[in-house]
Chain A
Amino acid sequence: MKVYLLQRVGMFFLTVWLGMTLIFIIPRLAPGDPVAAMVSRMTAQAGQVENSAEIIEAWRARFGLDDPLPIQYLRYMKNVFSFRLGYSLAYFPTTVEEMVRDTLPWTVGLLALATVLSFLLGNTVGALLAWRGTPGLARALLPISLTFTSIPPFMLGILLIYVFSFGLEWFPAAGNVARGIHPGISFSFLVSVLHHGILPATAIIITTMGFWALGMRGMMITTDGEDYMILAEAKGLRPRRIFFHYGVRNAILPQVTALALSFGGIAGGAVIIEYIFTYPGMGYLLYQGIVNNDFVLIQGIVTIMIVGVSLAVLIVDLLYPLIDPRITYRKGSYG
């Protein structure tokens, strides 16, 4: 148990370190630096920029770009672990932490809800598809729910906006709450949040649940051939009990591992979903960073995303022994 715990925590730090190192090193391998790029864009806009050499000089010194790379790297690491992400370039006195703090709850809320629902729905559909006791009608209808499986969430999102916001005008096309409603625990606030959140959440759920359904179906078919299933049947257990306690109980384990591995992809997809729906979460903030060439903001948000995703994986990993008792007996291996 101790070994497992240490391995998982070690994995968390390795992932965070790897992601941060990637976003530190690769941009610096590329020709040019952000300050020079920024000034050249100012030149393109204004025709000419006075004292551009001095501006570059001053900004480079200010962001510590003149220091040797290892020093910059260590400073970056130190800042991240003390949660200092720096000042936004575009909204100067505001710090990146403040901007993230305002947007993070929306992203986490939307993603957590959509991911949990998608996981539950998908696995239910997959298990029923593989189960011999499923009624014929359900067996014929269930595959319809997999129609959108291979489509990226944001493309379905565009379609949903067109049909339900532009065409039918049932749901708003943008934002997270209606104007004039103050955040707080009130009925109207809750309704407004749901009203705005339904389309983006639906786009994520419908496009991702098929992935879980297919995985679950495969696992259920595999468990179906196991000896303990035949024994359970021979004992005369009720089909429902066999389904949940013998089939689903065993087939769900690899699905949970797959869930942990897919958090990174989910977070990436959410960036584009928020951008399509102008949903003021971290993903939309990231898009604004891109538009404003706000490199400090971009780097800060992506760092938070890396830490957040790794943390989510760690939590799933730590909960895993609760659903798979075998894990405590294993030594020197994981996953």
Chain B
Amino acid sequence: MDRLRSLLENHWKLGLGLAIVLTVAGTGLMGHLVWDVTRARVGSTELNLPPIWVRNPGPMFPKPDPTSPLGSDSSGRDMLALLIAATPNSLRVGVVAAGVGMAAGIFLGFTAGFLGGWVDNTIRVVADAVITVPALAVLIVISSYVRQIDLNNMAILLACFAWPAPTRTIRAQVLSMRHRPFVQMARLSGASSFEIMFLEILPNLLPYLAASFTGTVSASILAATGLEALGLGPTRIPTLGMTIFYAIKASAILRGMWWWWGFPIFMLVLIFSGLFLVTIGLDEIANPRLRGAPRR
């Protein structure tokens, strides 16, 4: 228990970030139990309902309705149900895309760092080229051809652009570890390359891998939300980005219906801030010099 406490004191960013992310994920998952998510469908409630605590929404808006505590949009989707239904979908796209991208990144990063030579050069050059290509633009071309896209396909597409960053990080770390004494030691005691990679180097990279993973989840959710906000995401499954798309399309910003775009943005801001805190928290574990004020 004491160890846990000191861990949390040293790594409050990680702790706070995890708490935020888990709360958001929990709201999405547990919400299904306490709230009827079918009310996320069009026409479930009166149109344009403001949230219940809004006293004076404007002359033409209906009176707030306790059955829709967060209000509703212009098609009568209950905002609370929409948030509960959409949040897990948005998280899932990010996690699947980052999972696939990381798997490729770990494989390529280790291969490049360990084998060196022309294999390393090829992987490095291609990774640099893919990083430079504006991913969102290419994704826009693809999804505007495909149009009806489901969540998993979208995640796979995002993964095509999620691998270069982890590949670069992991390659750099593997290179720096290859010549450390403990690796040399393992090699002298006759460990195979495979054993060295997975038993010696990989465990030491875990903080980097974890930081890289959360960073990639965040980047993937950002790209997914961008596509959805342009109307290129799945249109039949509620996502946070799609909600923003409908809000912009119906010019909700200039009609003062802040709850329509405000709540999905609030959820996304929580997700991004949480993941960001986790990422820099893990970075500090991987590189303790980053923690706190400079010494001396």
Contact = CB atoms under 8 A, between A and B. Distances in A.
Interface in A242-281: 260-261, 263-265, 267-269, 271-272, 275-276
A173 interface: yes
B229 interface: yes
A190 interface: no
Interface stretch (A14-22, A69-77, A319-327): A14-22
Interface string B105-141: 0000000000000000000011011111111111011
B275 interface: yes
Contacts of A267: 134, 136-137
Nearest to A161: B253
B269 A271 contact: no
Contacts of A218: 287, 290
B280 A264 contact: no
B254 A166 contact: yes
A37 B141 contact: no
Interface string B52-94: 0000000000000000000000000000000000000000000
B258 interface: yes
Contacts of A295: 144-145
B112 to A, nearest CB: 13
B30 interface: no
A85 interface: no
Contacts of A149: 276
A23 B296 CA distance: 53
Contacts of A151: 269, 272-273
A298 B140 contact: yes
Contacts of A154: 226, 229
Given A173-B253, A305-B137, A287 B145 contact: no
B103 interface: no
Contact of A18 (B133, B218, B226, B265): B133
B225 interface: yes
A330 interface: no
B51 interface: no
A290 B230 contact: yes
Contact of B134 (A161, A214, A268): A268
A186 interface: no
Given A11-B128, A159-B265, A152 B275 contact: no
Contacts of B225: 152
Interface string B21-46: 00000000000000000000000000
Interface of B is mostly: helix
Contact of A305 (B126, B134, B146, B147): B134
A260 B130 CA distance: 13
B222 interface: yes
Nearest to B165: A261
Contacts of A158: 244, 248, 253, 261, 265
A5 to B, nearest CB: 16
A227 to B, nearest CB: 14
Contacts of B232: 290
Contact of A162 (B130, B131, B135, B258): B258
Contacts of A114: none
Interface string A141-171: 0000000011110110011011001100000
Interface in B227-246: 229-232, 244
B194 to A, nearest CB: 28
Given A18-B129, A37-B145, A152-B226, A269 B273 contact: no
A290 B275 contact: no
A94 interface: no
A272 B272 contact: no
When A and B form their complex, which 10 residue pairs have the shortest distance between CB atoms, in order from nearest? Answer: A268-B136, A150-B276, A27-B145, A19-B133, A264-B134, A267-B134, A150-B272, A15-B129, A302-B137, A23-B141
21 contacts: A19-B134, A23-B142, A30-B146, A37-B147, A130-B294, A132-B296, A150-B275, A151-B269, A155-B268, A158-B261, A161-B253, A162-B258, A165-B254, A166-B256, A173-B254, A267-B134, A268-B223, A268-B226, A269-B136, A290-B230, A310-B132
